[in-house]
Amino acid sequence: MNRHLVRDRIESIGIIPSIRTSSAADARFAADAISAAGIPVVEITTTVSGAVEVIADLVRTMPDLIVGADVFDLEMARQCVGAGASFVTSPGFDRRIVDFAAREQMLVMPGALTPTEVSVAREAGADFVKVFPCAPLGGARYIRALKAPLPDVPLVASGGVNEQTVAEFIRAGAVAVGVGSALVPKKAIQQRQPDWIIELARRFLGLVHEARERRLVP
C-alpha cells in the first residue's frame, strides 16, 4: 500500500491501535479482534516477542489490514519494512529512521514532545508527528497549545488516550490518536475475549466520529 493511501486511511479512521503484548500469539489475537471491529490498521510494537514475524504473518494473511511497526532503531525499521510493514513509528525522533522511510517511500511517524522537536520532525519529512507522552504535559490541553503556533503540523496524540479523553484530543486538533491498553486490555487477551476488544474499538470509533462532528460546528 503506497504512502499516500496509508496516510489517507489513518486520517480517515483517526485511531491507531498499538499492540504491545508478551507473545506473538497474543499480538495476532489482538489484531484479529481490532480488524473485526472495523479498524483496518494496527501498530505492532517491536517489544513484542517475534514482532517481525507477526508483521509478516499479518501482511500475508490479512491483506486489507494496514500494519505498522513501532521501532527503536534503524536496523529494526529495516527488518519491519522488509517484513511488509506499511508505516513506521518511533517513540522519539531519529533522523536515520525518517530518512530511511523517505528512501523507501514509506509513511513515517516519529515521536516528539517539545515544539522544537515537533518542528524538527516535520522539517525532516515526517508524515505525522506523534506527540508522546501527552498525559504528563497536560493531555489535550498540550495538543491545543502545540497547534496554536504549529497549525499545519498533523499531530497524533499518544499516551493517556482512553475513552474519557479521546474526544478531547480530537477536538484539540489531533488528526488521530494512538491507543494501547485502553483499547486492548491485558485481561481481554489473556482470557481470549475478542468481543471485549471489539466493543471497545467500536466505542472509540464512535467517540472519534462524534468529536470530529462537534469540531466542525461553529
Q: Model confidence over 95-110: pLDDT tens digits? A: 999 999 999 999 999 9
Q: To 10 degrees, what angle do helices 95-103 and 115-124 make? A: 30
Residue 65: predicted pLDDT: 96
Residue 214: predicted pLDDT: 81
**Distance of alpha carbon 166 from its chain centroid, rounded?**
13
Residue 127: predicted pLDDT: 97
Mean per-residue pLDDT, 29-50: 96
Mean per-residue pLDDT, 29-58: 96
Q: How many CB atoms lie within 10 A of CB 43?
A: 25
Contacts 24+ apart (CB under 8 A), 96-99: 97/71, 97/73, 98/124, 98/125, 98/126, 99/124, 99/125
Mean per-residue pLDDT, 44-61: 96
Burial 180-216 (b: 16+ CB within 10 A, else e): bebbbbeebbeeeebebbbebbeebbebbeebeeeee
Do the bridges between strand 176-179 and strand 87-89 make them parallel or antiparallel, or are there none, so unpaired? unpaired
Residue 1: predicted pLDDT: 74
Give the global pTM.
Answer: 0.94
Per-residue pLDDT tens over the stretch 134-183 = 999 999 999 999 999 999 999 999 999 999 999 999 999 999 999 999 99
Mean per-residue pLDDT, 121-126: 96
Residues sharing a CB contact under 8 Å with residue 129, sequence separation 6 or more, in sequence order:
109, 110, 111, 112, 118, 121, 122, 153, 154, 155, 156
Q: Determine which of 57-61, 172-176, 210-214 has the lowest per-residue pLDDT on average.
A: 210-214
Asked if residue 217 has pLDDT above 70, the reply is no
Type and span of the H or E element at 122:
helix 115-124
Asked if residue 116 has pLDDT above 90, the reply is yes
Residue 215: predicted pLDDT: 72
Task: State the cell numbers at 147.
Answer: 497547534
Q: What are the structural domains, with CATH classification, of the chain?
A: 3-211 (3.20.20.70)
Mean per-residue pLDDT, 111-129: 96
